[in-house]
Structure 1
Amino acid sequence: MAHGARVRTLERREARLAYLMVAPTFAIVIGLVVFPAFFNVWISLHRIGLDNLNDVFRAPFVGLRNYVRAATDYAFLDALTTSVLYTILATAATTLGGLGAGLLLNTAFRGRGIFRTLFLIPYVAPLISVAYIWRWLLDPTVRGVVNWTLMRIGVLDHPVSWLGTRGVALLAIILFEGWRYFPFAMLMILARLQAIDATMYEAASVDGASRLRRFWSITLPEVSLVLGTVFLIRLMWTFNKFDDIFLLTGGGFGTRVLPILTYEFSFRLFDFGRGAATAMVLVLILSGFMLVYIRKVMRW
């Protein structure tokens, strides 16, 4: 009995210590994640602007009116279309770029370590730095590196505003997204490539399979699960992307996506209720992506 009581006392002490150790993290999650999420839902159901910003808890309740105003706004539909197009193309560029780089680094050649380092630079470099380097490269005047080079070789007759022309600007930020984040895909794909049993390639070579045939019959099936995982992860992250686009174009010239529109509703028009409603729509879409991702992972 005495021994059992001591064991129970020790277990209670360990439990209290465990709760004490977890409490700071729990408090941070509550304060920085849970409370802001519920508060955003509350804001989306009220009319909040500059006139009542200092007394938001007495703001008029408007129900789903902010959601209706956001969903029926042409800017919302345009931003949603742009978000879908940008997300799919940028994610595809990232995944395909990572696959190509992974295949290259999986081949033994002199200087492979140098290429590995160079490929990682876009991903590890500070975003603010690489964004402004791209803005310098894509300067709309003849001083821009891209314009100057293309004019020198006769491709262009006059400078192009790469980040200031509708259509071209969207293509530019898609290329930027693929260039900056392909190393993330490369690392995951390369790890899987290096785990493929080399004897399968040897057997295929003995049977006379070409390099392309070995890729389609061995490499691609072996990395398909990783490709699917990378694509879904990047799809979620890209759909929620704000900073890259904001630094390059500010959301103008056909590059306004839903996160940019949320920012504009809240901090340019100061319509915080509609901005919160747009953010909640974004959360619902991302939650759908997350459910698909979880189902795929559990199936794999």
Structure 2
Amino acid sequence: MKTIKRGKSDIKLAAALLFPSVFLVLLLVAYPMISNIQISFFDQPINPRLSATFVGLKNYIDILTDPAFIKSLGITLLYMILAVAGSTALGLAVAIFFNRPFKFRKIARSLIILSYVTPSISLVFAWKYMFNNGYGVVNFLGGDVLHLFDKAPLWFDNPVSSFILVVLFAIWRYFPYAFISFLAILQTIDSTQYEAAEIDGASAWGKFKIVTLPAIMPVLVTVITLRSIWLFYMFTDVYLLTNKVNILGIYLYETAFAFNDLGKAASISVILFIILSIVIIAARKRVKF
């Protein structure tokens, strides 16, 4: 009888300890999601005193048939793929280079992660300053020093150059996350595995494919998955850098707060959630770890 009472008391204690966390998750995650799905079926006015009008699937149909949404989705997917691939590859390359002892390694490691821990507004200001057509260092070096162009380009006023710079900014800004993750797992790999592969005549690429890649695969999948989610919903960096790259985060913001259409904005977020969930589930099923 005492054992049963102790078991029941343990369950009650566990429930009491878990309740605050469960309550916060329901309050901050579940309730907003359900409320957002509900709003997506209504023509929701900004003024809370005005009543909403039920429109059914009209918001979803309008969004899915809007050429601006399709174009924005394509730009976002391209931005996400290039930025994730670039930041992951660069982070892995730098991690492999740092996975050995050398002088001032700790200082160099600290300098690398600066771009990741520095506030976005500071980095955006620095980039806009560097590419300013009047006094930017990039135009000074490219035009006055190297003579690559006669007239200073308006980097952030052109859609193509703006997109390229936004992708480069994302790669430079977020590769330290991949670097830290890969370096941590690389330091757990036994050096004797590389020695055995070298004895078998494996090249540098062979050692990477046979030893390194299987060891880092769980981390690689996690990094790609998390970074894809973050960049798919990116808003701040692109919005602060330029108004010429209309990714979905900006499209959603303008729909909600420029056109005051909360119903369509809610339907956009639901559609994005479904798309991203399908992509991530499909990608993770292809990788066994």
TM score, norm. by length of structure 1: 0.87
Match of 1:268 in 2: 258
Find the aligned partners of 1:136 and 1:15 in 2 and give their Cα distance. Answer: 59
Match of 2:18 in 1: 22
Give matches, 1:226-245, under 5 Å.
226-245=219-238
Match of 2:186 in 1: 193
Q: Deviations over 1:167-217 (max 9, x none)?
A: 111111111111111111112211222222212322344455443443344
Match of 1:124 in 2: 117
Letter in 2 for 1:165: N
Aligned pair in 2 of structure 1 residues 17, 295: CA closer, same or farther (>3 Å)? Answer: same
Does structure 2 conserve the Cα–Cα contact (< 8 Å) formed by 1:232 and 1:289? no
Find the aligned partners of 1:232 and 1:31 in 2 and give their Cα distance. Answer: 26
Letter in 2 for 1:62: V
Does structure 1 conserve the Cα–Cα contact (< 8 Å) formed by 2:221 and 2:284? no
Q: Deviations over 1:26-48 (max 9, x none)?
A: 22222211111111111110112
Find the aligned partners of 1:210 and 1:295 in 2 and give their Cα distance. Answer: 30
Find the aligned partners of 2:14 and 2:211 in 1 and give their Cα distance. Answer: 48
Q: Deviations over 1:145-188 (max 9, x none)?
A: 21122222212322122222111111111111111111111122
Match of 1:292 in 2: 282
Match of 1:161 in 2: 154
Find the aligned partners of 1:213 and 1:18 in 2 and give their Cα distance. Answer: 50
Match of 2:101 in 1: 108
Does structure 1 conserve the Cα–Cα contact (< 8 Å) formed by 2:80 and 2:228? yes
Aligned pair in 2 of structure 1 residues 25, 156: CA closer, same or farther (>3 Å)? Answer: same
Aligned pair in 2 of structure 1 residues 8, 211: CA closer, same or farther (>3 Å)? Answer: closer
* Greater mean alpha carbon deviation, residues 175-184 or residues 232-241: 232-241
TM score, norm. by length of structure 2: 0.90
Find the aligned partners of 1:23 and 1:258 in 2 and give their Cα distance. Answer: 36
Aligned pair in 2 of structure 1 residues 266, 158: CA closer, same or farther (>3 Å)? Answer: same
Q: Deviations over 1:190-248 (max 9, x none)?
A: 12222222123223444554434433444344434433332222222211212221221
Is the partner of 2:86 in helix, strand or coil?
helix
Does structure 2 conserve the Cα–Cα contact (< 8 Å) formed by 1:70 and 1:274? yes
Letter in 2 for 1:279: S
Aligned residues: CA RMSD: 2.2
Instruction: Tell whether 2:143 aligns with 1:147.
Output: no
Find the aligned partners of 2:155 and 2:253 in 1 and give their Cα distance. Answer: 24
Instruction: Tell whether 2:27 aligns with 1:31.
Output: yes
User: 1:142 Cα shift?
Assistant: 2.4
Of all paired residues, the percent bearing the same amino acid is 35
The number of residues matched between the two structures is 288
Structure 2: give runs of 5+ residues left out of the alignment.
Answer: none
* Greater mean alpha carbon deviation, residues 192-201 or residues 90-99: 192-201
Find the aligned partners of 1:121 and 1:142 in 2 and give their Cα distance. Answer: 27
Aligned pair in 2 of structure 1 residues 241, 198: CA closer, same or farther (>3 Å)? Answer: same
Find the aligned partners of 2:267 and 2:17 in 1 and give their Cα distance. Answer: 36
Match of 1:174 in 2: 167
Find the aligned partners of 1:125 and 1:289 in 2 and give their Cα distance. Answer: 30
Match of 2:272 in 1: 282
Does structure 2 conserve the Cα–Cα contact (< 8 Å) formed by 1:236 and 1:289? no
Is the partner of 2:48 in helix, strand or coil?
helix
Is the partner of 1:109 in helix, strand or coil?
coil
Find the aligned partners of 2:195 and 2:16 in 1 and give their Cα distance. Answer: 57
Instruction: Tell whether 2:38 aligns with 1:42.
Output: yes
Is the partner of 1:96 in helix, strand or coil?
helix
Give matches, 1:44-63, under 5 Å.
44-50=40-46, 53-55=47-49, 58-63=51-56
